[in-house]
């Protein structure tokens, strides 16, 4: 198989001062990419500041790569635009964006403040949107772009005490789905990584033997594939401890209920048929659901949709 390389490509990795982001940046740089290492330098809850981004950029330069650092707060459009402007001024383009920056403020929903809920959504969802918006037009004009969101099993399946984090991470799957459609004609491919790795975010959640197995570098291998030349689009790639899988969302075929049965009781009486997995499909876009339901209704009523 041909080696996956990024020679001549310019990549921005947010939240790259530690953990997964640092591993992502190092791997992309080792494979030839020019890196913008972004990190506000804060703690896990988003407070504080530091030199983490420049530390990683220097590590890359010491290893013979090209890298600059930027401490943009991903939720602030002016700071993010300055970061993109610096990349464009130095290298003339941005080919790859890895939306990795994130914070945690875990509590049960009963104990969580609205401010803590908002803060996590701001960094994960709005931060990804702000960074993506800043590179979207340059990528459209270039006819090339590779964007990776960072999802999580906390959003896809749920984790106790992470209602804010889970909502944010599932929101990024929806963001990916739409950008996949809007970017297709411009050769912009958008995917999501759902990682589990030994980082600052997981060190208090998992026992030492598990942390030993969860090397960030294994996860970064999947990330590099998602932003490569021959990357797929609209894939949620799950990775951890050397394991790789894909999360897909399917919709059951469902049923049609005639008007007299379109009641809560009618739904309850037919819930087994509604949830039966025979004939379930993975839709490429939301409109396919509308067409399915309309087709079932039209067939039952003998109405032409032509």
The Cα 214–Cα 153 span in angstroms is: 15
On the CB side of 126, how many CA atoms lie within 13 Å of its CA? 11
The Cα 128–Cα 74 span in angstroms is: 7
**Residues 228/232/237/243 CA torsion (nearest 10 deg):** -70
The Cα 97–Cα 132 span in angstroms is: 7
User: Which stretches of 34-126 are DSSP H helices?
Assistant: 52-62, 77-91, 114-121
The Cα 164–Cα 224 span in angstroms is: 27
- Alpha carbon 111 to chain centroid distance? 27
Residue 172: partners with Cβ closer than 8 Å, 6 or more residues away: 99, 124, 125, 128, 149, 150, 151, 155, 192
Catalytic residue from among 157, 165, 225, 250: 165
The Cα 229–Cα 97 span in angstroms is: 13
Is there a catalytic annotation at residue 157? Answer: no
Q: What is the DSSP letter of 41?
A: -
Closest residue by Cα to residue 152 from 116, 117, 212, 104: 104
Inter-residue contact 261 to 217 (CB < 8 Å): no
Residues designated as active site: 165
């Amino acid at each position: 198989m041909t080696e996956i390389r990024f020679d001549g490509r310019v990549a921005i990795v947010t939240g790259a001062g530690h953990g997964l982001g640092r591993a992502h940046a190092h791997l992309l740089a080792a494979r030839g990419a020019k890196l913008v290492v972004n990190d506000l330098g804060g703690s896990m809850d988003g407070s504080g500041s530091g030199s983490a981004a420049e530390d990683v950029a220097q590590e890359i330069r010491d290893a013979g790569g090209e890298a600059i650092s930027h401490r943009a707060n991903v939720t602030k459009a002016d700071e993010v635009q300055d970061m993109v402007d610096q990349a464009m001024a130095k290298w003339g383009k941005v080919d790859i964006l890895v939306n990795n920056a994130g914070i945690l403020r875990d509590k049960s929903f009963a104990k969580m403040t609205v401010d803590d809920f908002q803060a996590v959504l701001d960094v994960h969802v709005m931060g990804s949107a702000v960074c993506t918006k800043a590179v979207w037009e340059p990528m459209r004009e270039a006819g090339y772009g590779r964007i990776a969101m960072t999802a999580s099993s906390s959003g896809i399946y749920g984790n106790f005490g992470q209602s804010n984090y889970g909502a944010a991470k599932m929101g990024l799957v929806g963001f990916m789905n739409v950008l996949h459609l809007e970017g297709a004609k411009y050769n912009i491919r958008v995917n999501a990584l759902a990682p589990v790795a030994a980082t600052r975010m997981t060190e208090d959640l998992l026992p030492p033997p598990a942390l030993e197995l969860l090397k960030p570098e294994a996860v970064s291998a999947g990330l590099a594939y998602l932003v490569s030349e021959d990357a797929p689009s609209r894939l949620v790639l799950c990775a951890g401890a050397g394991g790789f899988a894909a999360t897909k969302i399917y919709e059951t075929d469902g049923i049609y209920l005639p008007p007299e049965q379109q009641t809560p009781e009618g739904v309850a009486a037919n819930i087994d048929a509604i949830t039966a997995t025979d004939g379930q499909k993975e839709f490429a876009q939301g409109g396919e659901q509308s067409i399915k339901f309309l087709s079932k209704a039209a067939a039952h009523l003998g109405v032409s949709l032509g």
